[in-house]
Structure 1
Amino acid sequence: MNTFFKALIKSIFGDAANTLAVLVAAGVAFVLAGAGQNALAGWGLVAVLLPAMVWLAGSYGRPKD
């Protein structure tokens, strides 16, 4: 399962895959860590990371000038 997600992330994000995989794993771990404030902190982290991942994916997808 872990390998599947790594392959999926790498196919989408390319060079940034390792960094993104770590960030996503950290966010998911926070969400799964427990209820209450831990879960809220995890969802907050995911909410912060998602735009960053989209931006990184866009910047890596563009041809270099």
Structure 2
Amino acid sequence: MSANVGTVDRIIRIILGLAILSLLFVLEGNLKYIGLIGLIPLITGLAKFCPLYSLFKINTCQKK
């Protein structure tokens, strides 16, 4: 599993993931569990790997 998520992409994913995850604390009832979707961009941003990017042969990481 090699990195396929670049630096700017990672930052955007982490910020977006945290924002969506915060819905757990803002919304009430069963609707708050929509915030768990924020785990997906957060984990892919922290791991530097996105399975969908591999599937579509996308790589935003700079080659060294």
Which is bigger in relative contact order (C-alpha 8 A, separation at least 6)?
A: 2
TM-score by length of 1: 0.42
Provide TM-score, normalisation by structure 2.
0.42
